[in-house]
Structure 1
Amino acid sequence: MDLEGGGEDRWVFGYGSLMWRPGFPFIDRRTAVLHGRRRAFCIYSVHHRGTYERPGLVLGLAPGGAVRGMAYRVAASEWPGVYAYLREREQPTETYFETSREVKLDADGSDGQRKVPALVFLSDMKHSQWAGALTLEQQAALIAGAKGLSGPNIDYLRDLVLHLREGGVRDVAMEKLLKMVEAIESTAPQS
């Protein structure tokens, strides 16, 4: 799939805030699964949810497993603008690389499950913001108190847990992480 070119409708796969706040026009929205990657707090955030002085953490797609997210079909006529928007939103420090991966769309009333190529932002494990495999305790310490241009890091985690629940996904590790961050923030001195 040519990521920049036009001519046909395109799919975009979201596994974090794109699931609940895509911010671009789309003509279809379906739950979908990407195999070979898993959702993880593995990217130091120095822009949206932290700063260079006090990094937070955001989600990335770490190798292994599978991840349930949301796939959006974008009309060919809208693609150039949507692609430019996504590059600006997702790549402020170029911590991801853009690629096309096959995602499996959940069945919809009109058609069954099928696979489609989708634009996916994969974590660049060679980038200086790659945090790698952190324990829940390390993740909680980084998320608690971190703030960036898009607000407090804990809000990002809360939104994730809430929207996963609304989508029927119970992520025990993310829910435990949220409780840990809330506990840290409840005992931190207020500034």
Structure 2
Amino acid sequence: MATASCGNGDLWIFGYGSLMWRPGFDYLESAIAWVHGYHRSLCIFSHVHRGTPERPGLVLGLDRGGSCQGVAFRVSAREREKTIDYLRARELVTAVYLEKTVGVRFAEGGCANALAYVVDRSHCQYAGRLPYDEMTRLVAEGVGVNGDNPAYVRNTYEHLLQLDIHDEELAEIVRRLDKCSCRAAPRSAAAP
């Protein structure tokens, strides 16, 4: 697979969802960056991390069209292969994401190529654009090996706000979750 690197062998990685607040790898620096040609969207049925095949959650994908502001992380050349292995194990569990090199433009100026995980629209877990009521229901009910789906959405939304990044879709889902009467105790993710 093609990977993105700096001239010195360092690697840039673009995070737009949980990678922003839980990267899970060591990095030298991080910076606010834009990707053009893709947008952040709750467009993936989660069968592992935030749901199950029987009761899927809904997680973010980098879907084509528009632009997305997120965080780019620079990983040292020495940590490159270990980091890519970690990301593949994390992001490619069900092959709903494609590993791509995308151009990023930094908020402070300059640009680079970065590794990113974009949604595979032909995958059976691709949800596309769902109505807000359906998105809210899936998020409210989703629980997977990494915890409950509402916490994932709220953590991402709150982290974006801390970075002064505004995402109207996530804002609307959080508003609906806060009003939702279906806030029962989370069900166990251990059940098959």
Normalised to the residue count of structure 1, the TM-score between the two structures is: 0.91
Question: Counterpart of 1:165 in 2: which secondary structure?
Answer: helix
Residue number among 160, 167, 173 corresponding to 1:171 in the alignment: 167
Whichever residue aligns with residue 95 of structure 2, its letter is: E
How far off its partner does 1:170 sit? 2.5
* 1:11-60 superposed Cα distances (whole Å, 9 cap, x missing partner): 00000011111110111111100001110000000000000110000000
Write out the 4+ residue segments of structure 1 that deviate beyond 4 Å after TM superposition: 4-7, 188-191
- Structure 1, unaligned stretches of length 5 or more? 108-112
Counterpart for residue 129 of structure 2: 133
Alignment of 1:20-59 (within 5 A): 20-59=21-60
Whichever residue aligns with residue 27 of structure 1, its letter is: L
- Range moving further from structure 2, 129-138 or 36-45: 129-138
How far off its partner does 1:3 sit? 2.0
State whether structure 2 residue 89 is matched by structure 1 residue 88. Answer: yes
Q: Distance in 2 between matches of 1:4 and 1:102?
A: 9
Alignment of 1:1-191 (within 5 A): 2-3=2-3, 8-107=9-108, 113-184=109-180, 186-187=181-182, 190=185
Q: Distance in 2 between matches of 1:164 and 1:57?
A: 18
How far off its partner does 1:189 sit? 5.0
Alignment length, in residue pairs?
A: 185
Aligned alpha-carbon RMSD (Å): 1.9
Question: Counterpart of 1:78 in 2: which secondary structure?
Answer: helix
The answer (yes or no) to whether the contact 1:39–1:60 under 8 Å persists in 2 is: yes
Whichever residue aligns with residue 179 of structure 2, its letter is: A
Question: Counterpart of 2:35 in 1: which secondary structure?
Answer: strand
